[in-house]
């Protein structure tokens, strides 16, 4: 009887303790893994939302300004575009400042991982500011109307005659730290005043 009481009062053996500790570590490790995975998924989703917002803002800015283009200036190239359009009541330049008269210059380019705009070309002190962050690069192709019918006959990075340009196709490379490859999106903007000018033979 005494031997039976002694066995019932014994504590855990070393092996039992080690097994229990091992199981606890496995459970804790699994919980931490789930928590880290959830956090990474949340951060990824948040970053994707930010990228989508940057893209929407960038596309709106480019469409709004380039669709009013009356002339594409020399100095435009595959990495940046310089355009002019007429000021007037309620008309803003690319920096958001109202311009009631005269010609407005807008120069779009990418610098320091952001889309910039300058209200002067060449860029002057105080004429530029970043518009949207998270842009790695911009590539511009120019739609050329070679037969004055208001239709694009082809796209090129260096038109022989800037007066024949009636649209711009812009590829934007977005910053995505979570991916080895930077996602790229493109938009095409018709320059309505330029199209009408070509139809009139201007």
Full-model pTM: 0.75
Query: What is the percent of the chain where pLDDT is above 70?
Result: 84
Of 50-54, 95-99, 125-129, which gets the smallest average pLDDT?
Answer: 50-54
Residue 108: partners with Cβ closer than 8 Å, 6 or more residues away: 62, 65, 80, 81, 94, 115, 116, 117, 138
Residue 177: partners with Cβ closer than 8 Å, 6 or more residues away: 47
CB of 78 closer than 8 Å to CB of 157: yes
So what's the pLDDT on residue 28? 84
pLDDT digits (tens, 9 = 90+) for 42-75: 555 666 677 777 778 888 889 999 999 999 999 9
List the structure tokens of 168. Answer: 């711009």
Over 70: is that where the pLDDT of 40 sits?
A: no
DSSP 8-state class, residue 78? T
What would the mean pLDDT of 93-118 be, rounded to a whole number? 93
Mean pLDDT value across the chain:
85
* 31 vs 84, more confident: 84
């Amino acid at each position: 009887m005494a031997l039976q009481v002694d066995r019932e009062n014994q504590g855990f053996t070393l092996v039992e303790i080690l097994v229990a500790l091992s199981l606890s570590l496995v459970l804790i490790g699994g919980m931490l893994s789930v928590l880290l995975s959830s956090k990474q998924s949340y951060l990824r989703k948040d970053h994707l939302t930010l990228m989508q917002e940057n893209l929407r803002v960038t596309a709106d800015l480019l469409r709004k300004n380039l669709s009013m283009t009356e002339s594409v200036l020399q100095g435009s190239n595959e990495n940046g575009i310089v355009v002019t359009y007429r000021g007037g009541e309620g008309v803003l330049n690319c920096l958001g400042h109202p311009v009631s008269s005269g010609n407005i210059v807008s120069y779009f380019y990418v610098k320091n991982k952001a889309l910039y705009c300058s209200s002067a070309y060449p860029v002057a002190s105080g004429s530029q500011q970043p518009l949207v962050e998270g842009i790695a690069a911009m590539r511009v192709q120019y739609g050329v109307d070679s037969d004055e019918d208001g239709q694009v006959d082809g796209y090129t990075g260096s038109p022989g005659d800037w007066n024949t340009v009636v649209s711009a196709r812009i590829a934007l490379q977005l910053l995505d730290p979570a991916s080895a490859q930077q996602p790229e999106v493109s938009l095409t903007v018709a320059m309505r005043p330029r199209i009408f000018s070509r139809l009139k033979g201007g």
